[in-house]
Chains A and B, each alone.
Chain A
Amino acid sequence: MSAVPLTSVSVEPTDSATAPRAPKSGRQPRFGAEPSPTARRIILIIVVGVFIVPLAAMFEFTLRVTGKSTLDFSHYVSIAHPDAATGVDYSPLFQGIANSLTITVLTVAIVLLILLPTMLLVELRYPRMRRLLEFVCILPITIPSIVLVVGFVPVYQTVAAIFGSSPWTLAFAVGIIVLPYAYRPIATNISAFDLVTLSEAARSLGGNWLTVIWRIILPNMRRGIVSAIFLTVAVVLGEYTIASFLSQNTFQTALLLISQTDPYVSTIFALAALIFAFILLVVIGRLGNRSPGAATARRERRAARSAAGSASPTPLTPLTPGETA
């Protein structure tokens, strides 16, 4: 991450353009919690450096060729043109990816068609239920998926009797795991704008509930909904525990399966998935910063920054990730 030193410089509270800088040698005594720029840079470079190593090793591994000391992209080529002689069959992997994508679509549907309407109903009609809903949605973090799985096995015997044992049925179970991840961004979004007043205003102007939800509420919640969808996608693609116990072939179980015959290709796909998830989350991060009027706000903030020091942003809930599959 070459950008690290670069950004930490640009992030300095004093902008060289606006404030006359104290000469470097006689720096002012610092107070408060902030680290010195040097300390910050050293810490970040060391930690980021160490954390890059396994990912770099992963990449280097995918370039290795058995029996040779040179590195090349032959394993990447072999994905498209599998060498029949090695007898490696990648079809479970592609099948797994297809299954995971189906499950993803259905899980997103569960979030949008079951969770989201419920959350709106709570906000608009039954605010007293908010704590209960939140409790239920966050619960899956306290119950490890490995514990849930013990209960899913018998439940899925019934599910299989009704829907058959196709991979898409996993969406029901995965939807539960996803609940906390989908709930958080939507809830944060709801608390960030005055949903009740807006909808009352729209109602008093003659809109019916459908109009209000479709034209007033949902447009205001785009950010939260998109974040929830992206997180859902990332969680579903990374889900392993449930799929493996319910003996379904998904992306993750296929990765593990293929790694026994062709570790190179499975590593290529693993690395690609990590990068894909990273990109999704960067996009969410960017979205989070781009609220209506954010550009103006940012410009103002930049101007005010030299005076205000580090103004902390809107006090949002401390958000954290939870289970690591």
Chain B
Amino acid sequence: MTTQTVPDTASSDPASGSTGTTVSSHPSAGPGPASTSSKRPRRLSLAFLGFTPFAAYVVLFLAIPAVIAVASGFFSGTGAFTFANLRAFTDPTILSAFRGSFLVSAISALLGAIIGAVVCFALLGTRSDGFLRTTIDAASSVLAQFGGIMLAFAFIATIGFQGLVTLFLKDHFGFDLNAHGGLLYSVGGLVIPYTYFEVPLMVLTFMPAMEGLKATWGEAAATLGATRRSYWLKIAMPVLAPAFWGSVLLLFANAFSSFATAAALLSQGGIVPLTIKQQLTSETVVGVSNTAGVLALGMLVIMVVVMGAYSLLQRRAARWQR
């Protein structure tokens, strides 16, 4: 598997138990001489100063922006601390944006996970460094991560008003995809391009778990007279379940936080990132200042919960991937 080349969220969980496992699977390598050094009386040597550039950079451009983003939601227009802004969460537009985001992300995550898992199944037994797999891996990373605006264009060219598929269906079957207004330009329509980048993401995240299915388990089951059906139902599926649901959560988080595709397709709000954009340019919720900050807080809470659950499931799944 070209795994090392594909950027990673699978182990991206903050707790990152899973990532740790690969590294720590050779525990003798790292800590060896290091642990000796830690036995010495601990003092901050000059070398510790080497962390300064990175620490300064991360504080300035990660910690401070993140704190500002969330904290700004707690200040009124005049700069006084307040919880009043949380009222924004009762605003019907905001609520419907969260509902929209949630539905689009959940549906595209489930669809993407199912289709992606089927693709992983099809790829089982192919050589991980063969042409097929390296090509699919590369294509998956491109579509899953670098799509954004470009995928929006692709779908405008496919199912937009003059899209290839739209025209084909109209000419050959008399069926108008966009009969009820632009399908692609509605919140529900986002599911289509979102699923398009969720499937490749699923292939990348779920493939290692699929490959963790040991050939010996299949042999053992077969020796005991199990059919392939019962092998899948009683062995493979239960083993894969945590990894599968973990991937669903990751896909959800990915769809939930993505902005570019939606920004290129929808002109008004409808999902949270777009509403944040609107609120940054013009505050529209009456009596609430810094709505963008409040929305950012809401998004972050959901992301932390989802990614936390993901890392728990991933740790569970990692058990079988040794």
Q: Which residues of A does B touch, CB under 8 Å?
A: 1, 3-4, 7-8, 10-11, 13, 29-35, 39-40, 43-44, 47, 51, 53-58, 60-61, 110, 113-115, 117-118, 121, 123, 125-131, 134-136, 138-155, 172-173, 175-176, 179-181, 184-185, 187-189, 191-192, 194-197, 200, 223-224, 227, 231, 234-235, 237-238, 240-241, 244-245, 252, 255-256, 259, 263, 266-267, 270-271, 273-274, 277-278, 281-282, 284-289, 298, 309-310, 312-313, 315-325
Contact = CB atoms under 8 A, between A and B. Distances in A.
Closest 6 A-B residue pairs measured CB to CB? A32-B218, A151-B65, A144-B257, A318-B208, A31-B222, A151-B69
B47 A139 contact: no
B19 A134 contact: yes
B181 interface: no
Nearest to B30: A127
A270 B158 CA distance: 14
Given A57-B163, A143-B300, A317-B19, A8 B150 contact: no
A135 B2 CA distance: 23
A184 B6 CA distance: 8
6 contacts: A11-B125, A33-B124, A54-B154, A149-B276, A223-B4, A319-B5
Contacts of A8: 126, 132
Contacts of A147: 66, 69-70, 257, 276, 296, 299-300, 303
A32 B165 contact: no
- Max chain A C-beta neighbours (<10 A), residue from B69, B226, B254: B69
Nearest to A275: B142
A228 B150 CA distance: 22
Contact of B7 (A200, A231, A240, A252): A231
Contact of A47 (B16, B118, B258): B118
Interface in B1-59: 1-14, 16, 18-23, 25-26, 29-35, 37-38, 45, 47-48, 50-51, 53-54, 57-58
Contacts of A320: 6-12, 201, 204-205, 250
A245 to B, nearest CB: 7
Contacts, number: 464
Given A151-B65, A155-B61, A40 B5 contact: no
B233 interface: no
- Max chain A C-beta neighbours (<10 A), residue from B48, B132, B261: B132
Nearest to B34: A127
B199 A51 contact: yes
Nearest to A313: B128
Nearest to A240: B260
A189 B303 contact: no
Given A11-B127, A245-B277, A315 B25 contact: yes
B259 A114 contact: no
A3 B205 contact: no
B18 A318 contact: yes
Nearest to A62: B157
B208 to A, nearest CB: 4
A235 B34 CA distance: 34
Contacts of B307: 141-142
A323 B131 contact: no
A118 B228 contact: no
